[in-house]
């Protein structure tokens, strides 16, 4: 149980982040939601999580490309809840293009959101975690933190970087009761993946059905998408007391993808 613990999940208005926020709330944690979306829909989501799980749920609209906004979000959370016990760095975007045609502004955005934002949340949250001598940092990386695919240079570079950040911070805080791990999902059919199917089809000159079958799931021996709930369950386990000795680990949930 995470009763009395306070969790921040970046990028939790959709997909995997939303699944993780829901799972942590169900485990009794107060949750700070973050991410973009329709304000009315986000408010409905916030109210639903609060009512269903009887925890405090707040929402922060901080843009993960803006270090000052990230620092302010974490400061407000500490002010309001007293701590950041669980930090899930999940916000992420994708862009698919050959490297010599890759728009530099997409490169910069992917590095900022998928990698640097985690540095900014960690540096803001760590002092409070250290003070309490307890903390869980879970970085939602990807199978692309372990292996590469063509046409995803920025994403693969950012996720490999996030793997490195995970290990480095894990070593720094190893004696502080804080664990730092990366969860590395294979393909999960969220809006992020659905959106890249047309671009991949264009880059490879094949149909969208062929992208699902021959590109996405071709890499995944189990031939089915990983579910949001499976990623959320592993994340929740990493927050538990039983997971206290797991740190600096890159944990694949990828249907066998990176075993190849």
Residues designated as active site: 155
Nearer to ligand NAD, 30 or 114 (CB): 114
Sign (positive or negative) of CA dihedral 12, 125, 25, 79: negative
Let me know: does 133 contact 81? Beta carbons within 8 Å: no
* DSSP at 188: B
Burial state string for 194-224 with b = 16 or more CB within 10 A and e = fewer than 16: eebbeebbebeeeeeeebbeebbbebbeeee
Let me know: does 103 contact 95? Beta carbons within 8 Å: yes
Nearer to ligand NAD, 81 or 257 (CB): 257
Nearer to ligand NAD, 37 or 177 (CB): 37
Min CB(247)–ligand NAD separation in Å: 20
Nearer to ligand NAD, 53 or 159 (CB): 159
Phi, psi for 116 (deg, rounded to 5): -65, -30
Let me know: does 125 contact 87? Beta carbons within 8 Å: yes
Residues that bind ligand NAD in the complex, under the rule CB under 6 A = 11-17, 34-37, 63-65, 90-93, 113-114, 140, 142, 185, 187-188, 190-193
251 membership: H or E segment, kind and range:
strand 250-253
What distances in angstroms separate CA 209 from CA 105, 126, 164, 198, 200, one per listed residue?
29, 44, 34, 10, 11
N-term to C-term CA, the chain:
36
Min CB(162)–ligand NAD separation in Å: 8
Q: How far apart are CA 47 and CA 91, in angstroms?
A: 21
Helix axes 104-111, 153-172, angle to 10 degrees: 20
Min CB(203)–ligand NAD separation in Å: 17
Min CB(176)–ligand NAD separation in Å: 25
Min CB(133)–ligand NAD separation in Å: 28
Nearer to ligand NAD, 58 or 65 (CB): 65
Instruction: Tell me how long the chain is.
Output: 260
């Amino acid at each position: 149980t995470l009763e009395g613990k306070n969790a921040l999940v970046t990028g939790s208005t959709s997909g995997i982040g939303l699944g993780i926020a829901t799972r942590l709330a169900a485990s009794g944690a107060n949750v700070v939601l973050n991410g973009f979306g329709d304000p009315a829909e986000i408010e409905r989501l916030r109210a639903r999580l609060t009512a269903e799980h009887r925890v405090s749920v707040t929402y922060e609209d901080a843009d993960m490309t803006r270090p000052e906004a990230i620092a302010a979000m974490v400061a407000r959370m500490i002010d309001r809840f007293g701590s950041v016990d669980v930090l899930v760095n999940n916000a992420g975007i994708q862009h698919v293009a050959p490297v010599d045609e890759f728009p530099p502004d997409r490169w910069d955005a992917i590095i900022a959101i998928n990698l640097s934002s985690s540095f900014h949340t960690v540096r803001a949250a760590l002092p409070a975690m250290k003070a309490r001598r307890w903390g869980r940092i879970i970085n939602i990386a990807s199978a692309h933190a372990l292996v590469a695919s063509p046409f995803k240079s920025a994403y693969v570079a950012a996720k490999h970087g996030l793997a490195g950040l995970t290990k480095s911070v894990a070593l720094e805080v190893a004696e502080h009761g804080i664990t730092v791990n990366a969860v590395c999902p294979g393909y999960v059919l969220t809006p992020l993946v659905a959106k890249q199917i047309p671009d991949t089809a264009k880059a490879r000159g094949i149909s969208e059905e062929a992208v699902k079958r021959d590109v996405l799931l071709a890499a995944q021996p189990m031939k089915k998408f990983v579910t949001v709930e499976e990623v959320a369950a592993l994340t929740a386990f990493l927050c538990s007391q039983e997971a206290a000795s797991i740190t600096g680990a890159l944990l694949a949930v990828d249907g066998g993808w990176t075993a190849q």
